[in-house]
């Protein structure tokens, strides 16, 4: 395989993020991008780097994943996660899993230890315990903020409208999904995505994040993608695969993400965001929502932003 400039790119969810969360969200994505890149520099694989970056984001309560996950209508935390590696295109995922700190770790175990791609609900929890994942008290995953939000948005439809709609956003007290896409120095790719979903979702609702081709996609021949936004729209438009198909057709990562997000909006009025890195190291972060915190490390520099058009750079 040819030499490629390695890239680790992460996002912290696309939605109408209120000002009080801007700095915490930016710190969270910057830390996660650095963390994933360090794993690569220390000799880890693209999959190791994607997992480490997403664990860092799951552990940050500013995001809707792991600790800080939003609540279902009946006040529970149910989380979805995926990990996919682009060399063999193996993937592992969990849906509606409860009581674990890091769903992405369970997703990786599904990928590596089972003949399946997706385990959900009680089966996913049972599998996690059998593979040494500690069960945590659900209250440790619930922040006061998640409770406030559920009280405010007791209607899923209202939540979806206000968190994602770019034309008339209500700056909701929501917080969001996390993800990572990686290409290593040999052109090997991986992605991971993790979420608590959307406030006031129905118990048992599984969103786009654990679905291959919707919440994430990795193929060494093309690149890696992680998405965020209105899950039902992302599933229906196969957003991650749509972006990969655009890249595969020769479009750059930026054009590919822009066109796929525009397609989702035009066809089904869906809003969201995506990060993508090609197998050659071409990277893009893009969103059709009011904001999305993102960060990536490439060529010794850390790039980051949260507002449309914002792109800051500092030394890694
Ligand atoms: N896509 C996630 C879901 O619908 C939420 C998000 O990305 O904000 O579960």
In tens, the pLDDT along 173-186 reads: 556 899 999 999 99
- Nearest-5° Cα angle at 193, 187 to 195: 170
In a domain, 316, yes or no: no
Number of residues assigned to the chain: 316
pLDDT tier at 149 (50, 70, 90 boundaries)? confident
Q: How many domains does the chain have?
A: 1
Per-residue pLDDT tens digits for 76-127: 999 999 999 999 999 999 999 999 999 999 999 999 999 999 999 999 999 9
Nearest CA to ligand 1 atom 4: 231
Q: Rounded CA gap, 117 and 57, in Å? A: 23
Domain that holds residue 183: 7-311
For residue range 179-217, what is the model confidence (pLDDT) as tens digits? 999 999 999 999 999 999 999 999 999 999 999 999 999
Q: Is the CB of 177 under 6 A from ligand 1?
A: yes
pLDDT of residue 147: 86
170: pLDDT strictly greater than 70: no
Average pLDDT across the chain, whole number: 93
Could you tell me if residue 46 is inside a domain?
yes
Torsion angle of alpha carbons 147, 151, 157, 158, nearest 10°? -110
Give the per-residue pLDDT at 154. Answer: 73
Of the listed 87, 143, 177, 199, which one is catalytic?
Answer: 177
- What's the rounded Cα separation, in Å, for the pair 1 and 171? 46
Question: Using an 8 Å Cβ cutoff, are 272 and 228 in contact?
Answer: yes
Ligand 1 neighbourhood includes 78 CB (under 6 angstroms): no
Predicted TM-score of the model (pTM):
0.95
CA of 31 to the centre of ligand 1 (A): 21
Q: What is the CATH number of the domain that holds 275?
A: 3.60.20.30
**How high is the pLDDT of residue 133?**
96
Which band of pLDDT confidence, cut at 50, 70 and 90, is reported for residue 244? very high
Q: What is the pLDDT of residue 189?
A: 98
Residue 160: pLDDT band by 50, 70, 90 thresholds?
A: confident
Question: Is 177 one of the annotated active-site residues of the chain?
Answer: yes
Does a structural domain hold residue 1? no
CA 17 / ligand 1 centre spacing (Å): 14
pLDDT in tens, 38-64: 999 999 999 999 999 999 999 999 999
Residue % of the chain over a pLDDT of 90: 83
Is the minimum distance from the CB of 209 to ligand 1 under 6 angstroms?
A: yes
Tokens encoding 84 = 């996919």
Write the residue with the smallest CA distance to atom 6 of ligand 1: 229
- Residue 145: is its pLDDT beyond 90? no
Q: DSSP string spanning 168-236?
A: S----S----EEEEEE-TTS-EEEEEEE---TTPPTT---STTSBTTTEEEETTTEEEEEEE-HHHHHH
pLDDT attached to residue 161: 65
Which residue is associated with the tokens 């919707």? 214
57 touches 28 (CB < 8 A)? yes
Residue 209: which residues within 8 A CB-CB, separation 6 or more?
Answer: 80, 81, 82, 177, 179, 193, 194, 195, 197, 215, 216, 231
Does the Cβ of 174 fall within 6 Å of ligand 1? no
Overall average pLDDT of the 298-307 stretch: 96
Domain assignment of residue 2, yes or no? no
């Amino acid at each position: 395989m040819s030499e490629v400039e390695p890239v680790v790119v992460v996002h912290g969810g696309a939605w109408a993020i209120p000002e009080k969360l801007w700095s915490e969200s930016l710190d969270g994505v910057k830390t996660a991008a650095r963390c994933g890149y360090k794993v690569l520099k220390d000799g880890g694989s693209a999959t190791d780097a994607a997992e480490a970056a997403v664990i860092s984001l799951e552990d940050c309560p500013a995001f809707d994943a792991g600790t800080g996950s939003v609540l279902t209508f009946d006040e529970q935390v149910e989380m979805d996660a995926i990990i996919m590696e682009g060399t063999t295109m193996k993937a592992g995922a969990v849906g509606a899993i409860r009581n674990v700190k890091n769903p992405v770790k369970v997703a990786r175990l599904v990928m590596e230890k089972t003949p399946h791609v997706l385990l959900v609900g009680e089966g996913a929890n049972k599998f996690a315990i059998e593979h040494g994942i500690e069960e945590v008290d659900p209250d440790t995953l619930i922040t006061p903020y998640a409770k406030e939000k559920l009280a405010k948005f007791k209607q899923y439809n209202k939540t979806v409208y206000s968190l994602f709609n770019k034309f008339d956003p209500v700056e909701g007290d929501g917080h969001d999904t996390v993800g990572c896409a990686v290409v290593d120095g040999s052109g090997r790719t991986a992605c991971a995505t993790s979420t608590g979903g959307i406030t006031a979702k129905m118990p048992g609702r599984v969103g786009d994040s654990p679905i291959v081709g919707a919440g994430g996609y990795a193929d060494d021949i093309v690149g890696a993608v992680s998405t965020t936004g209105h899950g039902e729209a992302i599933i229906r438009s196969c957003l991650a695969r749509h972006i990969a198909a655009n890249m595969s057709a020769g479009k750059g990562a930026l054009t590919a993400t822009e066109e796929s997000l525009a397609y989702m909006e035009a066809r089904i009025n869906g809003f969201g965001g995506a990060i993508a890195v090609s197998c050659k190291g071409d990277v893009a972060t893009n969103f059709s929502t009011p904001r999305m915190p993102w960060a990536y490390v490439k060529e010794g520099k850390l790039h980051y932003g949260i507002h449309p058009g914002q792109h800051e750079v500092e030394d890694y």
